[in-house]
């Protein structure tokens, strides 16, 4: 588990929408790895597919927004 202080600092930090989306994607990736590692009985293939699809959407969205930014 992470320290409560880290969570409090992040909560006070203002994020751009892109930064917020990246923070969420990172959290989902971390949780996905833990769920795959521990494989609780309630973590079904359907749920794993939903998580993977959501991560793919975040990744696709990030790539698309980077491709459209001016150099």
> pLDDT digit string (tens) for 40-63?
999 999 999 999 999 898 877 666
Is the confidence at residue 1, as pLDDT, over 60? no
Taking a C-beta distance cutoff of 8 angstroms, is the pair 48, 36 a contact? yes
pLDDT for position 33 = 95
Is the confidence at residue 66, as pLDDT, over 80? no
> pLDDT digit string (tens) for 3-37?
555 565 556 678 898 888 889 999 999 999 999 99
With helix as H, strand as E and coil as C, how does 17-47 read?
Answer: HHHHHHHHHHHHHHHHHHHHHHCCCCCCHHH
d(Cα 8, Cα 63) in Å, to the nearest integer?
29
Provide the residue ranges of all domains of the chain, joining segments of one domain with +. Answer: 17-68
């Amino acid at each position: 588990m992470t320290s409560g202080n880290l969570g409090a600092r992040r909560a006070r930090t203002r994020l751009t929408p892109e930064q917020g989306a990246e923070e969420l994607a990172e959290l989902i990736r971390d949780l996905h790895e833990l769920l795959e590692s521990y494989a609780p009985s309630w973590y079904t293939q359907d749920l794993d597919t939903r998580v993977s699809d959501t991560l793919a959407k975040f990744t696709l969205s990030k790539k698309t927004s980077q491709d459209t930014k001016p150099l």
